Amino acid sequence: MSRIVSFGEIMMKLSPSGVRRFSQAGQLNILYSGSEANVSAALRQWGQDSVHVTRFPDNDLGHAAQASWTSLGVDMRHVQFGGERLGLYFVENGALMRSTRIIYDRLPSSFASSERGMYDWEQILAGCDWFHWSGITPALSSGAAAALLEGIQVCNSKKIPVSGDINYRSGLWRYGKTPGQIMEPMIAGSSVIVAGPGDTKKILDIEPASDTSDPFESVSRQLMARFPRITHVISSSRENITATHNRLLGMLWDGSELKVSRTYDLDNIVERIGSGDALIAGFIHGRLKGWDEQRSLDLAVAAAAIKHSIEGDVCLASLDEVLEVMEGGSGGKIKR
């Protein structure tokens, strides 16, 4: 069992039942979710020791959010309490040609009021085998960004592998700094980066070379040249046929060779949110088990694929279920 630490906000997710529109909703269902925490929860399902670090308001909602993740087996002992409020987001699930819609109401949240020095990273990272972050955290506030960078710097001093999903959220980044200004040192401190050409262009002004045959390989090469600590770049490619019918594959650049997964045809999607978190969780699990890059990528994409069949944002699939999908056994037969 390996110990994985993640850092990021957990919010309250509010959504109408089924595929109702907001205008049709007489009530909203409540879940608690956060990108980095989703990664830790998936890894916990697969037998890893998962720790999530965050900050909640010291009220009933904050304690309910903590209890929700504790019930998934995630170690929440390093949670901080304080600040003004729990972040919210509202989700209207799409269907057919109607896209899923998300509305954020997350500022000024308790987590966004995080600051450098607030978290005892030396204690938190004792015995840690992997650290995970995402680009959502530094987008929330300069304080949250400073706290994250402090954690990454301690990981580097301890030679702990760091993964970062640099997903760009255009609705955030409202405190006067550009994503590149803030995230460069975080990316520089990471060994695994989840990013595609769209993210690298918006955040780092890295775009595919004009003469390239593969845009992902081109930006991956440039990332590694600019940030020598990076050993792997991962991305997914999604074909959106409708809101409930996608095709998905994964790609990995290891510095010398491009690796590609099989393509999954995902019809009748139940929930797409959280599939990217399942992807990086699968890759982390494979690498911590000593698997090679191709097998780790295959596990990652299988986890992302099966996540589309599960309500909520967490990949609540057992490792056996993910392996069955990875090995082609996805017929959906009844198991008795």
> What is the CATH number for 267?
3.40.1190.20
Q: Give the structural domain span for 178.
A: 3-7+35-81+117-326
**Residue 23 to residues 26, 27, 28, 150, 312, Cα–Cα distance (Å):** 8, 11, 11, 43, 21
Amino acid 65: pLDDT? 97
What is the C-alpha separation between 294 and 316, in angstroms, rounded? 23
DSSP state of 44: H
Residue 301 lies in a domain: yes
Amino acid 334: pLDDT? 58
Contact 33, 11 (CB under 8 A): yes
Amino acid 336: pLDDT? 55
Q: What is the number of structural domains in the chain?
A: 1
Distance from the Cα of residue 266 to its chain's centroid: 20
Q: Which residues contact 21 (CB under 8 A, 6 or more apart)?
A: 92
Residue 276 lies in a domain: yes
What is the C-alpha separation between 52 and 60, in angstroms, rounded? 19
What parts of the chain have a pLDDT lower than 70?
Answer: 330-336
Residue 225 lies in a domain: yes
Q: What is the pLDDT of residues 117-156, one digit of tens each?
A: 999 999 999 999 999 999 999 999 999 999 999 999 999 9
Supply the pTM of this predicted model.
Answer: 0.94
Sheet containing strand 101-105, strands side by side: 29-33, 11-15, 88-92, 101-105
Produce one character per residue of 109-128: b if its CB has 16 or more CB atoms within 10 Å, e if not: bbbbbbeeebbebeebbeeb
Residue 257 lies in a domain: yes
Amino acid 231: pLDDT? 97
Residue 171 lies in a domain: yes
Helix, strand, or coil (residue 105): strand
Residue 140 lies in a domain: yes
Q: Which residues contact 187 (CB under 8 A, 6 or more apart)?
A: 164, 166, 193, 204, 223, 227, 230
DSSP state of 55: E
Residue 246 lies in a domain: yes
Contact 69, 22 (CB under 8 A): no
Residue 110 lies in a domain: no
Q: What's the full length of the chain, in residues?
A: 336
